[in-house]
Chain A
Amino acid sequence: MAVEVQQRHQRPPLWRDVTVLKWAAQLVVLAVVAAILWILGTTGAGNIDDRGLTFGWRWLTDPPGISIREGIDLLPDSGSRAMLVGIVNMLRVTVSGIIVATILGTIIGIARLSKNWIVNKTANVYIETIRNTPLLVQIFFWAALLRLFDEPLEADIGVKWLHISSKGLAIPWIRPDIGFWQWLVFVVVGLYFARVMYRRRIRHLEESGEEAYAFTYAAGTVLLFALVGWFAHPLMAFLGPVWGGIASFFGALPTWVVQAVLAVGALGIAGWWIKRFLDGLRTPAGLAKLTDDDIFRIVFASLAGVIFAALFIVQGGISNLVLDGMRNLFEFFDGKFGAAEGGLRTGLPLRWSRPFVEVTGANFFQYGSGGIVITGGFFAIWVGVTLYTASFIAEVVRAGILAVVRGQTEAASALGLRRSQSLRLVILPQAFRIILPPLGNQYLNLAKNTSLGIAVSYPEIVLVGQTLYNQTGQTLPVVLFWMVFYLSVSLILSSIVNYYNRKLQLVER
């Protein structure tokens, strides 16, 4: 008996010890990944050298010598500016596409569950058609559709309300005018008070049971501030020197301070993550025993913190970039507040802008700078990705509603809740939790699919980048730039979705 017990306490041989095996596996994977990256890096660098190419980032600052079809700057003076135009164009499609696809997808998803035969079948046909044809084909289809219209002609010259031609759809638009930024301060403050008002009305509803019109009150508050600000915005002129002061503060700040702050920040985030991780393991009985995985995570987090801190200290350029960015931002604000050319900044915040057709060169008719022109490229890529994503969102919404068990609807009806109340108070809050993660996936797909804009010459970041590397030969840096950009967009989108997902999790035992 005693012998047996002793045997059990003996250390197992290393290759049969779970702890050792686990650590070995982690380290082997880490080593393999590092080795692959190293091999790729050195081979790539070798190949670049062999061909006499240079790997560098000069193209970001050099004049690119390209013009861009549409965007915030048609003749950018640097490569980074050109990429920014592409980024803004990409975000225009992504943000508006996500909003419209969500609304459209939800409506179609609910219609798909309708008991009305026509509504149901229409939704069904929409989903099956759009979902089962390649997105690229659909984008070509929408582009071809707009080309069915005539070119603008001499007879079209003049200011229009609405004009459609093979060059796009021109509609009136609201543009920020000279007082816009001063007015915006009023609106932002108004939004804050609207939130206060909204919460107050909700409390009133809960305490008294009376109808509180919380949303109406909140909207009214914003409108009131916007209206007052419309006339009173020159009051905000004093902010100009404040922004200027902050800008010169960043201008005067030595680089090493930023380096120190960033390094300490990186270490701080790692420390905060570890503390939170440990807090999560704390039970009423004290700190739970750490497993090997837990220790590995802590080691990894501290390593990442140290590496980033070292990076910030060694690469002073990063800190310079941050400093310049902040200075430029506040200089930009400085330029939008206070005195303008010709005295006080008293103009209107917004102005109405109408499109017009003009003639350039001998006989070349095109839209001028008024209103907003939905170009063929934008139209095709926007309609393409929006309708395509909406069809997937519709299926996600349908699945989410169906996943809420039937008993929930029955319990709500048995209590006397009306159908709309039961949908709003019981079904949708539960369906939303189920829908959210796959919905986030669809948003990521939409963001990534905007890169198909290259097929219809829509100058988003991929097309602009391609033009740039055709000019400079810097293929690899441009590709890296794309990857970092798409990765950042995806990470930001998914962290927003994850944040809400965590907030909405059902509390279980």
Chain B
Amino acid sequence: MADLGQDDIIICEGVKKWFGDFQALTGVTTRIKEQEVVVVIGPSGSGKSTFIRCINRLEAHQEGTIVVDGIELTNDLRNIEKIRAEVGMVFQQFNLFPHLTVLDNVTLAPLWVRKTPKGESDAQAMQLLERVGIPEQAEKYPGQLSGGQQQRVAIARALAMNPKIMLFDEPTSALDPEMIKEVLDVMKELAQSGMTMIVVTHEMGFAREVADRVLFFDYGTIVEEGTPEHFFTSPEHDRTKLFLSQIL
């Protein structure tokens, strides 16, 4: 899978992470190429969320190396800020800023981090809101929107920084079934446009249809990886087989 080459945008080598005496990551090694869509699945508590939260250093890993877009993640604050501006993230609970309008949510980071003029960032935000299909909600507050709409705003907010990589942490797990599709559609469109994406999800349909590669996590490490085809039709590992038999 991960062959050599200049286009590896994320490189993880033996990444380990402890919460107190609980080891959440037990040595994750993988490479992700530009424009690749990687879906991460696995049982709860298997470390998949912790893994992607390490990539933009919402959690600090304790052993191993993570290199994102040629910058190694260390305690150097400048590198962390640089990487966070390049890596967008979408959360399970949306985490929109409830005291700001939808438009202000989207323009906040461009205004304060990229120092984009207000007029320019407003125009860009409106384009993004159109792309996710809710331009008419721009002046409303997050509390006035449905869950699906909020999650689409969250995607637009992350895209406003023109990130090279997008991380999705169970983006549809807090949504009503009828709203899952509208969010997945936006993500599919994003994948087709060539965005590098890492998606933690339980939506197997999405994995099958959109993913270039599937990573199966358990006990804090990658147990099995492969194309969706390989993964859903002929999994090799017993743990993978058990997991798939329980959810499919």
Q: Is B111 interfacial (CB 8 A cutoff)?
A: yes
- Tell me the complex Cα distance, A410–B58, Å: 7
Of B89, B115, B141, the contact of A209 (CB 8 Å cutoff): B115
Q: Is A306 interfacial (CB 8 A cutoff)?
A: no
Q: Is B117 interfacial (CB 8 A cutoff)?
A: yes
Q: Is B81 interfacial (CB 8 A cutoff)?
A: yes
The segment out of A256-264, A269-277, A379-387, A423-431 that lies at the interface is A423-431
Interface pair A416/B85, CB less than 8 Å apart: yes
Closest Cβ of chain B to A31, distance in Å, is 43
Report the nearest B residue to A432, measured CB to CB: B99
Q: Is B108 interfacial (CB 8 A cutoff)?
A: yes
Interface pair A411/B119, CB less than 8 Å apart: no
Q: Is A507 interfacial (CB 8 A cutoff)?
A: yes
Question: Beyond A416-B84, A508-B144, A509-B144, is A421–B97 a contact (Cβ under 8 Å)?
Answer: no
Q: Mark B46-79, 1 if CB is under 8 A from A, else 0.
A: 0000000000101000000000000000000000
Interface pair B84/A415, CB less than 8 Å apart: yes
Interface pair A414/B89, CB less than 8 Å apart: yes
Chain A 157-214 interface residues, beta-carbon cutoff 8 Å to B = 205-209
- Tell me the complex Cα distance, A304–B143, Å: 38
- Tell me the complex Cα distance, A417–B99, Å: 17
- A425 neighbours in B (Cβ, 8 Å): 108, 112
Chain B 11-48 interface residues, beta-carbon cutoff 8 Å to A = none
- Tell me the complex Cα distance, A506–B84, Å: 28
Chain A 392-434 interface residues, beta-carbon cutoff 8 Å to B = 405, 407-408, 410-418, 421, 425-426, 429-430, 433
Closest Cβ of chain A to B244, distance in Å, is 31
- A421 neighbours in B (Cβ, 8 Å): 112-113
Interface pair B97/A411, CB less than 8 Å apart: yes
- Tell me the complex Cα distance, A415–B83, Å: 10
Chain B 121-172 interface residues, beta-carbon cutoff 8 Å to A = 140-141, 143-144, 157-158, 161
- Tell me the complex Cα distance, A413–B116, Å: 18
Q: Is B173 interfacial (CB 8 A cutoff)?
A: no
Q: Is B194 interfacial (CB 8 A cutoff)?
A: no
Q: How many residues of A contact B (CB 8 A)?
A: 27
Interface pair A433/B93, CB less than 8 Å apart: no
Interface pair B113/A506, CB less than 8 Å apart: no
- B81 neighbours in A (Cβ, 8 Å): 416, 418
Q: Is B91 interfacial (CB 8 A cutoff)?
A: yes
Question: Beyond A415-B161, A509-B143, is A209–B116 a contact (Cβ under 8 Å)?
Answer: yes
- B143 neighbours in A (Cβ, 8 Å): 506-509
- Tell me the complex Cα distance, A418–B157, Å: 17
Interface pair A416/B113, CB less than 8 Å apart: yes
Question: Beyond A209-B116, A415-B109, A425-B112, is A507–B91 a contact (Cβ under 8 Å)?
Answer: no
Question: Beyond A411-B97, A416-B85, A506-B99, is A207–B112 a contact (Cβ under 8 Å)?
Answer: no
Most buried by B among A410, A411, A415: A415
- Tell me the complex Cα distance, A411–B98, Å: 12
Question: Beyond A414-B56, A425-B112, is A430–B99 a contact (Cβ under 8 Å)?
Answer: yes
- B87 neighbours in A (Cβ, 8 Å): 414
Q: How many residues of B contact A (CB 8 A)?
A: 33
- B115 neighbours in A (Cβ, 8 Å): 209
Report the nearest A residue to B92, measured CB to CB: A407
- B118 neighbours in A (Cβ, 8 Å): 205-207, 209
Closest Cβ of chain B to A385, distance in Å, is 32
Question: Beyond A416-B84, A506-B143, is A411–B95 a contact (Cβ under 8 Å)?
Answer: yes
Question: Beyond A433-B99, A507-B143, A507-B144, is A415–B157 a contact (Cβ under 8 Å)?
Answer: yes
- B112 neighbours in A (Cβ, 8 Å): 417, 421, 425
- B161 neighbours in A (Cβ, 8 Å): 415-416
- B113 neighbours in A (Cβ, 8 Å): 415-417, 421
Interface pair B109/A416, CB less than 8 Å apart: yes
- A415 neighbours in B (Cβ, 8 Å): 84-85, 108-109, 113, 157-158, 161
- A408 neighbours in B (Cβ, 8 Å): 95, 97
Report the nearest B residue to A418, measured CB to CB: B81
Of A407, A429, A506, the contact of B93 (CB 8 Å cutoff): A407
Closest Cβ of chain A to B140, distance in Å, is 8
- A417 neighbours in B (Cβ, 8 Å): 108-109, 112-113
Interface pair B58/A413, CB less than 8 Å apart: yes
Closest Cβ of chain A to B56, distance in Å, is 6
Interface pair A410/B95, CB less than 8 Å apart: yes
- Tell me the complex Cα distance, A277–B118, Å: 38
- A410 neighbours in B (Cβ, 8 Å): 58, 91, 95
- B84 neighbours in A (Cβ, 8 Å): 413-416
Of B95, B108, B119, B141, the contact of A407 (CB 8 Å cutoff): B95
Report the nearest B residue to A208, measured CB to CB: B117
- B158 neighbours in A (Cβ, 8 Å): 414-415
Closest Cβ of chain A to B24, distance in Å, is 16
Most buried by A among B58, B109, B119: B109
Most buried by B among A205, A410, A433, A509: A410
Question: Beyond A414-B56, A414-B58, A507-B141, is A430–B109 a contact (Cβ under 8 Å)?
Answer: no
Known: A209-B115, A209-B120, A415-B157. 18 other contacts (CB 8 A): A205-B118, A206-B118, A207-B117, A410-B58, A411-B91, A413-B58, A414-B87, A414-B89, A415-B108, A415-B113, A416-B109, A433-B99, A506-B98, A506-B141, A507-B140, A507-B141, A507-B144, A508-B144
Residues of B within 8 A of A (CB): 56, 58, 81, 84-85, 87-89, 91, 93, 95-99, 108-109, 111-113, 115-120, 140-141, 143-144, 157-158, 161
Residues of A within 8 A of B (CB): 205-209, 405, 407-408, 410-418, 421, 425-426, 429-430, 433, 506-509
A-B contact pairs, 20 of them (CB 8 A): A205-B118, A207-B117, A207-B119, A209-B115, A407-B91, A411-B91, A411-B96, A411-B97, A413-B84, A414-B88, A414-B91, A415-B109, A416-B84, A416-B161, A418-B81, A421-B112, A426-B97, A429-B99, A430-B98, A506-B98
Would you list the 4 A-B pairs with minimal beta carbon distance, nearest first? A209-B117, A416-B85, A411-B95, A206-B118
